[in-house]
Amino acid sequence: MADVHSSEVRSKNMRAIRTRDTAIETRLAELLTGLGLSYRVQDKMLPGRPDFVVDRYKTIIFVHGCFWHKHHCHLFKVPATRTAFWMGKIDSNVARDRRYIAELTAAGWKVLIVWECALRGKTRLEEKALTSRLEEWVCAGSGNGEIDSQGLRQLVE
C-alpha cells in the first residue's frame, strides 16, 4: 500500500511531532501538581532525559506514546507502508528505553512508565483512578512500574 501523502507532506507532518510539552505530558504534569508533588522536567543530565523527575521520592517518570514505544494496546498499529523501516525505528526505541531504565535503576532511581493509553483514548483510566495509581506508586511503590489502561503493575524487564 502506498503512502497517502507525498514525501514532502509526510516530512512536514513528521517534523511537527513534538518531543516535549505534548498533550499527554501536560495532563500528567497537572496530575502531579494536583498531588502536591514537585518535579523537574526533561533533565538532560539523566539517561533518557526523563519527562519527569521527582527528587523527593528518587523517582523517574517517562510518558510513552503507545505507537513510538510499541505498547501492545489499541493505539499501536503496525504501519502498512515502509513496514520494515518503521518497525526497525520503533524496535530501536524499545531497546533504548530498556537501556535507559537499566542505567537509571543501577543509579538508584525507580522508574515509572505511564503509557499514552492510560491518559487518552477509548480505554483511558478515569482521572481519579489514574491519580490514585500514580500517587500509590510514586509515594510507596518499589521497583519499576508501568501504568496503562489496565492499571498499575510491576515493569517486566
| pLDDT for the residue numbered 2 | 57
Closest to 59 in 3D by CA, of 102, 29, 104, 20 = 104
What the block records as the C-alpha cell of 73 is: 494496546
| pLDDT for the residue numbered 33 | 94
Residues of the chain with pLDDT under 70: 1-5, 7, 9-21, 156-157
Distance between first and last Cα of the chain: 35
CA–CA gap between residue 97 and residue 100 (Å, rounded): 5
| pLDDT for the residue numbered 4 | 63
Contact (CB, 8 A) for 134 and 147 = yes
Q: Which single residue is written with the C-alpha cell 499527554?
A: 24
Answer whether CATH 3.40.960.10 is correct for domain 20-154. yes
